[in-house]
Structure formats: structure tokens, C-alpha cells
Amino acid sequence: MSVITKTDLKLPFLHRGKVRDTYEFDGNLLIVSTDRVSAFDSVFAEGIPKKGAVLNQLSAFWFKKTKSIIENHFITDAMPEHLKAMQGRAMIVKRAKLIPMEAVVRGYLTGSGWKEYKEKGTLAGIKLPAGLKNGSKLPEPQFTPSTKAESGHDINISVEEAEKMFGKEAADFVKKSAISLYKFAHDYLLTKGLVLADTKFEFGYVGSKIILIDEAITPDSSRYWLKEQYDKGILESMDKQFLRNYLESSGWNKEPPAPALPEEIIEKTSERYKAAYKMITGEEVK
């Protein structure tokens, strides 16, 4: 199965991120989701088959489904004739001025939140009940924002720090919007056999209005667990956590250069992304 890890379109090029390539297109933006995969701030040489298609098509799915909660940047994922090769992995979106904050919402205790809880009994400084386990559902979804340092590492910040950095009104709006999006997606995904443990959003300004941008509730930006397994006390990931778990056990020190990924890990990661897409949408990824 062919993978695309880099694009070179005949359009004004703007930015190459860890996964997405961005171009100017008729006053808007063309965002291409490649098959690149990143973990622990490193981008791997190998691509994950169908990953870009899953990220693009799933984001489009959620953008359409949540537009009544908050406006987003999605315009269309139908490519014009000269860009047909990008059909399925690209979308045309509105230009927006990024708010440089990752709006993380956690509904369950796991990952870095679980580590903090074990040490301090808190999540992002918020005191939690005693006796919680890895995977425990939180009493209420928690907004735990972070911002990015120049090196690309996420830096956790408090809600108060977010208010100082971005203004109280904007931070409040982002917090409320992110939690509303999480709750909507969480309840929807339960009906599809998935538990949405946590997810992160990005927002930006179009004029004075804040809208949802980037991607939405994908296996790159979220933790999904199989509900059937979760009910048995097993956290089975249907997202990028599978790859992270492999890397944690591989002996890699998480410093560049990134190691080569075994074919089996590439295939199993791809299968999880495709399976999650089918569970969520009821369709095979194109």
C-alpha cells in the first residue's frame, strides 16, 4: 500500500508540520494530511498507510457534525480537477489566526494525568478524589490547557495562566467550547463502542470570532479505548497510543534521530486507525 510522507504541489507553500502540509489556495488554505507519524516530538521516516486519509476524513466528519456547537474552518474536502490526487487526504479551509494553546479536555484519568495523580493526588493542579485508578472516569471532564515552547514540547499551563496569556474572555470561550465538543463526541462515541478518554483541540480567530481549526477528535489528537474491553478493566487503545507503547518498550531514549519502525508495528498502527474510522463513521476509509 503506497504512502505519502511529503507533498510538492504547484501551489504557494506555507508550512510543513509534523503531519500536515499547508498551501495557499484562492485566499484560503489547502491542508494536506500526509501519512507521516510523529511521537515524542520526532517524525519517523516511515509513513502509516491510510493514516492521512483517516485524519482528513474523520476531521471532516466531526467538523460537519459539531458546527452547531462552534463554527469551524472547514469549507470543503472536494478537490478541484488539478488536485484530484489529493482527494480524500486534503481539505480547503478558512484562514485563521492561531491561538497558540492546545485545548486539552480529559474525561478519564490516564497518561500524564495519571502520573501526576499518583504523585500528588491532582490533575493539572486540581485535587481529585482518592482511590482512582489508571482509566478511572473523572467526576467531570477537566480542561487542562498547554502551550508550545520554541522547541515544540508541550508546556502545561493553568487556566489562570491561559487567561493571562490569551485574555479571560477568549480563554473562557475556548474552555467552554472544548468541553462542549468533548461531551458531544464522548456521548456519540459510546454508542459506537468507543470510550473517548481525552482529546485536544486548536482554535483561531477569523476577524474577532474564535472558531475551531486544525483537526478534530482523530486518533492522532485523542485517546479512544474499546468500550467492550474498558468495561472489563482493560485499556485497549484504538489510536496513536499503540505506537507510543511500542516505542516506550523499545529502549529508544526518545531523542532524535527516530528509530526505524518495524513493518509489523506500521501495519498494526494502520489497522487501528482504519478500524477506529469504521467504528465511528460506519464506513471504510476511502
75, 51: one domain: yes
Nearest CA-CA partner of 32 in 51, 202, 210: 51
For residue 270, being part of any structural domain is answered with no
pLDDT confidence of 175, banded at 50, 70, 90?
very high
Same domain, yes or no, for 193 and 120? Answer: yes
Residue 243 lies in a domain: yes
pLDDT tens readout for residues 61-95: 999 999 999 999 999 999 999 999 999 999 999 99
* 158 and 242 part of one domain: yes
CATH number at residue 84: 3.30.200.20
Please enumerate in sequence order all residues whose Cβ is within 8 A of that of 244, keeping only pairs 6 or more positions apart, or say none: 39, 40
32 is a domain residue: yes
Report the pLDDT value the prediction gives residue 211, as an integer from 0 to 100: 98
| pLDDT over 70 (residue 151) | no
- In terms of residue numbers, what domain contains 53? 13-95
Looking at this protein, which amino acid is placed at residue 274? K
Cis peptide bond upstream of 257, omega within 30 = yes
Q: Minimal CA–CA distance to 185: which of 200, 173, 175?
A: 200
Is 49 in the same domain as 18? yes
* pLDDT for position 253: 96
Kindly state whether residue 8 falls inside one of the protein's structural domains. Answer: no
3-state secondary structure 124-180: CCEECCCCCCCCCEEEEEEECCEEECCCCCEEECCHHHHHHHHCHHHHHHHHHHHHH
Separation in Å, CA 72 to CA 127, 190, 220, 221: 33, 24, 19, 17
Residues 237 and 111 in one domain: yes
Same domain, 40 and 125: no
Give the Cα separation of 285 and 183 in Å (integer): 25
Specify the CATH number for the domain of residue 103.
3.30.470.20
Residue 280 lies in a domain: no
**What is the pLDDT at residue 114?**
97
The count of structural domains within the chain is: 2
Burial of 281 (0-12, 13-18, 19+ CB in 10 A): middle
The CA distance from 159 to 36, in Å, is: 32
User: Do residues 232 and 135 share a domain?
Assistant: yes
CA distances from 197 to 13, 99, 110, 220 (A): 35, 24, 8, 13
82 plus 103 within the same structural domain: no
Q: Is there a single domain that holds both residue 69 and residue 189?
A: no
**Is there a single domain that holds both residue 163 and residue 217?**
yes
Residues 143 and 178: their CA atoms lie apart, in Å, by 8
- For residues 128 and 198, membership in a common domain is answered with yes
* Bridge partner list, 30: 23, 92
